[in-house]
Structure 1
Amino acid sequence: MNFIKKIILGFLAALMALLGEQIISTLYFLFFNQEISENYFEKITPFLFLVVLIEEMFRYLAVKKSSSYSKEIRKYFSPALAIGLGFFLAEIIFRFWDSNILSFFSLEILGIFFLHFIISFLMIIILTAKKNELWKFILPAFVIHFIYNSLIIYNLGGLAVFIYLILISLILAAFYSKNLLIQTS
């Protein structure tokens, strides 16, 4: 699968996650006669947990479909970049639909891309390590994504979020380096 197809796969997976979130929101309304607030992202709620879980499930499916088993870093990087870019584009389109994107070009935009890339890369590393239990993919991705959302909700600022993502990247790089050394020895 070429790079552009992987971006499209990531974009479609993000759209499917959004559709899943909308279906759950509708079912919640039908069964409980209450709407989930459109501002659910302003505080930590059970729906926010569910949104992150759904998104990571669809990311897992996209990563699994787009990845090949290899020890070459290039083969990890390319699908992670493409899937991350697809998720990023979907989020940017829907998040800034009514807004002026140029005014939002900041650490927040970079953080959104970086988050999706990091989680996709992590999933590829886990997939390549042949750890096939679903929770081994979803739990780390969920935790990283949920902490990211919490930092945004509690308005710690773009710099704090970016530092968090850099720290996660360094931990991921150390983990990857360790696994690569183990595989080659």
Structure 2
Amino acid sequence: MRALRFLQSTVLNLAAILGTVSVVAVVACLVLGLRPAIVISGSMEPQIPVGGMTFARTIPAADAEVGDVVTLPRPDGSGLVTHRVVGTEPGPGGATLLTLRGDANDTPDPQPYTVRQVGEVQLTVPVLGSVALFMQQNVLLVVGVLVLVGAFASLPLRPTPRRGSDGAGTAAPARRAQPA
């Protein structure tokens, strides 16, 4: 019984910690203006591993400097690219031309990116992107596990009554007779 109570308490504490960390992370992203992105290729390894999650702050593209790691939309609209700035120059109509290259790549990206703003990567958390991607792709499984954990954590743990040697439950204490 003690082990089950310990397990239940541990599950509740871990759930509370995970919930608190999640809320704090969301609030921090909102307050600090950070946008998360999941890394799905190895072009920035070893600094940014596959399965990591980056957090980027939006800045004007003209403020990006050589050496910065930035996230921006691919020209074909197929998602985001996170690479290091290796060249920058003024572009047409107030835009900026950025030449990017992944740390693991031998050559820069084929075409410069014409952009007005970029996400400057502030933080990378390894593995977090893989966890988020798994949760996105397995929503029903995650919800099911959460329901089971919640049900387990809310089970009342009471000791069962002892039984006498004859198999019957223990008798209730006798009442005192009332004086007449």
Normalised by the size of structure 1, how large is the TM-score? 0.20
- Structure number with the bigger relative contact order (C-alpha 8 A, sep ≥ 6) is 1
Q: Which has the larger radius of gyration?
A: 2
